[in-house]
Amino acid sequence: MGLRQLHYMLKVAEEQSFTKAAQKLNIAQPSLSQYILNLEQSVGITLFDRTTNPISLTHAGEVFAVKARDILRLHHELAVQMEDMAGLKTGKIKIGISQTGAHFIPRVFPHFYKKFPCVEIEMIEASSSEEMEKCLQEGIVDLATLILPIESENLSYEIIQDEKMLITLPITHPIAKEAKKRGDKQYPQIALTALKDEKFILPKASQRSRAMFDMLFKEAGFSPKVLCETKTMDTANAIVASGIGIGFTLPQIIRADDKDKIALFALNTPLATRTLVLAYKREKYLPKIAHEFLSIAKRFMK
């Protein structure tokens, strides 16, 4: 039983398909099936229930998968520690990002690469903070961009920056036209109560950022009329740019082709501020190169 077999087994479990796993692993599907069959024969027990669609782990397979992840994690940590002790400026760092870090990480990469050109950087993308926390817990990534608060108690973090959420209105909205006519500053202030009759584009209830916006509306004393819910600010911005709805965004996230179609307003409340962090698993060995990335990120963003 080798590390490759463990890796292959976990990929099949993740994809719930030999065909999909083989494509991700870039090997022939019959070869992958034979690898797994040989593994099952070596441990003397069936790991996958092939009668279900999609295929699933047996109870023994679930137990095996937990230990397999631990073995691969420990092997990776050992290799990283040896690299650190050798003082090498090579190696690999795995960075997890969702939309919370999509604007920030690419700005840091050039500074990191200039100092460590031989380090391999792997980016793992997730659609939500919850998924990103899971990647940290399972050791899939070394560092991940998250927004406070963090639910998992065994995660540590470094604060990167505070970000002020802005209100987005279509440039054709009467309030936006009036602000432009007055020549107001870049982000004129607006009270959320002034928009209580408008329809809002909000994150889905499953998105962590939704809780912050719900608090804003609670503070303003009204429940919003919801036009629709989205997973990303990109989608919300595009809808506002089309001429309907009110949304929330960060200026650095707005696409170039939407900028002249959106008016931005600031809310005078601390509840509109969110804190971006780089998080890592507390008991997991964090390689020196990851500490270097943290240091560069903090210095650059400040």
Residues with Cβ < 8 Å from 160, sequence gap 6 or more? 104, 145, 276, 277, 278, 297, 298, 301
pTM (two decimals): 0.65
Query: What is the DSSP annotation of 43-83?
Result: HTS--EETTSSS-EE-HHHHHHHHHHHHHHHHHHHHHHHHH
Domain 166-266 annotated CATH 3.40.190.10: yes
Q: Give 130-170 pLDDT, tens digit per residue.
A: 888 888 888 889 999 998 888 888 899 999 888 899 999 99
The CATH fold assigned to 1-87 is Arc Repressor Mutant, subunit A (1.10.10)
With a cut of 60, say whether residue 88 has pLDDT above it. Answer: no
Calpha distance 271→203 (Å, rounded): 16
With a cut of 90, say whether residue 194 has pLDDT above it. Answer: yes
* pLDDT-derived band at 113, boundaries 50, 70, 90: confident
In this prediction, residue 85 carries a pLDDT of: 61
Calpha distance 150→133 (Å, rounded): 8
Sheet holding 166-170, edge to edge: 247-249, 166-170, 262-266
Q: Give 246-281 pLDDT, tens digit per residue.
A: 999 998 888 889 999 999 999 988 888 888 899 999
Q: Where are the domains of the chain?
A: 1-87, 88-162+276-302, 166-266
Residue 187 burial (CB count, 10 A): 16
Domains 1-87 and 88-162+276-302 equal at CATH topology level: no
Q: Which CATH architecture has domain 88-162+276-302?
A: 3-Layer(aba) Sandwich (3.40)
Residues 140/281, Cβ–Cβ less than 8 Å: no
With a cut of 70, say whether residue 50 has pLDDT above it. Answer: yes
With a cut of 70, say whether residue 19 has pLDDT above it. Answer: yes
